[in-house]
């Protein structure tokens, strides 16, 4: 036997930039749990873990696909019927396009990764909102491209600062990301802001990557596609069954590339990349057809449940001395701010809260916010009773935390 080396095997330096705080923070939660404190996980936006259920007709569609033997590789772009269903849905939402421009993906996540990989070289720039959904920065780090943050502003309901977006466009800009409705802020952008983002994409020839995974979960009802403001602008939309159809584990998603021929090369590049990973999850693609062509009444009940929880979250957090929050109008996230004394970070606060109470949130800097700004994200999918006791704990902890630090 040759002598055994003892040095650890090196990993690629790009891994250093691949940070996904929403899951990374779980390691600390496990330590807290091992030490005997029950952890209440408010870090991941998964409705299933809080008792919401996948609509039965979607489960049946997958069961039928499995029983009918659809267990081989699907086409790399996805099965034809589901691509048609996505194209029809895009048209209903104001973004008419042919099914040939739809690619089924392993969740919205894979669509984001395929698009960014097809668009950005190492060193290129992609405009990303801050706070952001952290997959964007993580994937860009992997590619070696640069996330350039544009402000969304809590004092203006978390709307994008359009002048800031405009000022950041350079010859190296390859894409503009918009998350509407938004995670982590729960904001829904008004028509003038949406139109301005589409106009910027059109004017500068920069693809707008429209993350619309929460489009059906605005409390006032489904939001149309951002591309409705100009279906000929370079817009690529992304969504999935994860949130509005309550099936996150299925990894059943799609991307649809706007009909402008300026995006034809990007579409071809994405298809090339999709060939390399063979296909998305085949049997689950049958549920996409069932979801988009079928009964959606579960969404009415889900939106009502979310609105109740959002209102509770807003009123209870606003009643805590030192905490402010913009009322969410969609999805299941709130991004409150705690006024921290100098030298204290959002991570100090969130880890302190976890260790003292077992309540696990994610610090705002995990979404690109400044650590001193004191933002943190709460997933408010728990029952109103559970949320009530969680907000009691947050109130007690915050009072002690701030007074211990002389705030
Ligand atoms: C804004 C946003 N985009 C994408 C995703 C990923 O969703 P999927 O499960 O469809 O990959 C999430 C999940 O939380 C999200 O919040």
pLDDT above 90: residue 392 = yes
Ligand 1 test: best mutation among 213, 246, 334, most atoms within 8 Å of CB? Answer: 213
In this predicted model, what pLDDT tens digit does every residue of 111-160 receive, in sequence order? Answer: 999 999 999 999 999 999 999 999 999 999 999 999 999 999 999 999 99
pLDDT at res. 407: 72
Backbone dihedral angles phi then psi of residue 151, each to the nearest 5 degrees = -70, 135
Cα distances from 202 to residues 12, 78, 237, 247, in angstroms, run 37, 29, 15, 34
Q: From the CA of 112, give the closest atom in ligand 1.
A: 4
The mean pLDDT value for 385-404 works out to 96
Inter-axis angle of helices 346-357 and 384-404, to 10 degrees? 120
Helix (H, G, I), strand (E, B) or coil at 381: coil
pLDDT above 80: residue 333 = yes
pLDDT above 80: residue 80 = yes
pLDDT above 90: residue 4 = no
pLDDT bucket at 341, cuts 50 / 70 / 90: very high
Q: Round to whole Å and give the CA distance between 350 and 358.
A: 10
The mean pLDDT value for 33-45 works out to 93
Q: From the CA of 110, give the closest atom in ligand 1.
A: 11
pLDDT at res. 288: 98
pLDDT at res. 17: 80
The mean pLDDT value for 249-269 works out to 98
Is 183's C-beta closer than 6 angstroms to any atom of ligand 1?
Answer: yes
Q: To which H or E segment does residue 387 belong?
A: helix 384-404
- Cβ atoms of 182 and 331 within 8 Å: the answer is yes
pLDDT at res. 311: 98
pLDDT above 90: residue 194 = yes
pLDDT at res. 22: 74
Q: From the CA of 109, give the closest atom in ligand 1.
A: 11
Q: Round to whole Å and give the CA distance between 83 and 98.
A: 9
Burial-class residue 270 by CB neighbours within 10 Å (0-12, 13-18, 19+).
buried
pLDDT bucket at 362, cuts 50 / 70 / 90: very high
Q: Report the percentage of the chain scoring pLDDT > 90.
A: 92
Residue nearest to atom 1 of ligand 1 (CA): 183
pLDDT at res. 20: 75
Which region holds residue 63: left if phi is over 0, alpha if psi is between -120 and 50, else beta? alpha
Q: Report the percentage of the chain scoring pLDDT > 70.
A: 100
pLDDT bucket at 223, cuts 50 / 70 / 90: very high
Chain-centroid distance of CA 91 in Å reads 23
pLDDT above 90: residue 2 = no
Q: Rounded to the nearest whole angstrom, what is the distance from the C-alpha of residue 185 to the centroid of ligand 1? A: 14
The mean pLDDT value for 162-180 works out to 98
pLDDT above 90: residue 381 = yes
Please give the angle made by the CA atoms of 125, 97 and 108, to the nearest 5 degrees. 50
Is 133's C-beta closer than 6 angstroms to any atom of ligand 1?
Answer: yes
pLDDT above 90: residue 18 = no
> For 36-45, 89-98, 224-233, which range has the lowest pLDDT when averaged over its residues?
36-45
The mean pLDDT value for 259-267 works out to 98
Is 213's C-beta closer than 6 angstroms to any atom of ligand 1?
Answer: yes
Is the model more confident about 327 or about 10? 327
Residue nearest to atom 7 of ligand 1 (CA): 108
pLDDT at res. 405: 85
Is 250's C-beta closer than 6 angstroms to any atom of ligand 1?
Answer: no
In this predicted model, what pLDDT tens digit does every residue of 300-324 receive, in sequence order? Answer: 999 999 999 999 999 999 999 999 9
pLDDT bucket at 403, cuts 50 / 70 / 90: very high
């Amino acid at each position: 036997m040759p002598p055994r080396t003892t040095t650890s095997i090196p990993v690629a330096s790009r891994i250093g930039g691949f940070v996904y705080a929403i899951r990374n923070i779980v390691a600390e939660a496990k330590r807290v749990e091992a030490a005997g404190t029950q952890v209440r996980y408010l870090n991941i936006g998964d409705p299933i873990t809080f008792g919401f259920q996948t609509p039965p007709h979607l489960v049946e569609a997958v069961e039928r696909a499995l029983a009918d033997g659809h267990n081989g590789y699907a086409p790399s772009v996805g099965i034809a019927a589901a691509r048609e269903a996505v194209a029809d849905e895009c048209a209903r939402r104001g973004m008419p396009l042919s099914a040939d421009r739809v690619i089924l993906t392993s969740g919205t996540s894979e669509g984001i990764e395929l698009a960014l990989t097809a668009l950005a070289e190492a060193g290129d720039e992609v405009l990303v909102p801050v706070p952001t959904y952290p997959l964007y920065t993580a994937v860009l780090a992997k590619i070696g491209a640069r996330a350039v943050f544009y402000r969304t502003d809590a004092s203006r309901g978390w709307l994008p600062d359009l002048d800031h977006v405009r000022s950041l466009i350079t010859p190296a800009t390859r894409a503009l990301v918009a998350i509407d409705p938004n995670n982590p802020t729960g904001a829904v952008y008004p028509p003038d802001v949406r139109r301005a983002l589409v106009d910027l994409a059109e004017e500068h020839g920069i693809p707008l990557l429209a993350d619309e995974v929460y489009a059906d979960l605005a409390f006032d009802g489904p939001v149309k596609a951002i591309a409705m403001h100009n279906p000929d602008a370079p817009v690529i939309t992304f969504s999935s069954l994860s949130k509005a159809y309550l099936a996150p584990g299925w990894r059943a998603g799609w991307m649809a590339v706007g009909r402008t021929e300026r995006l034809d090369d990007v579409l071809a590049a994405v298809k090339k990349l999709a060939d390399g990973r063979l296909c998305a999850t085949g049997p689950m693609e049958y549920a996409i057809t069932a979801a988009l062509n079928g009964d959606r009444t579960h969404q009415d009940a889900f939106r009502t449940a979310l609105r109740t929880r959002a209102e509770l979250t807003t009123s209870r957090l606003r009643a805590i001395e030192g905490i402010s929050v913009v009322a969410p109008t969609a999805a299941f996230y709130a991004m409150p701010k705690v006024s921290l004394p100098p030298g204290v970070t959002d991570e100090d606060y969130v880890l302190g809260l976890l260790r003292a109470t077992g309540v696990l949130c994610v610090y705002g800097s995990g979404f690109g916010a400044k650590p001193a700004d004191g933002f943190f994200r709460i997933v408010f999918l728990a029952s109103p009773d559970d949320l009530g006791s969680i907000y009691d704990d947050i109130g007690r902890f915050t009072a002690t935390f701030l007074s211990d630090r002389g705030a």
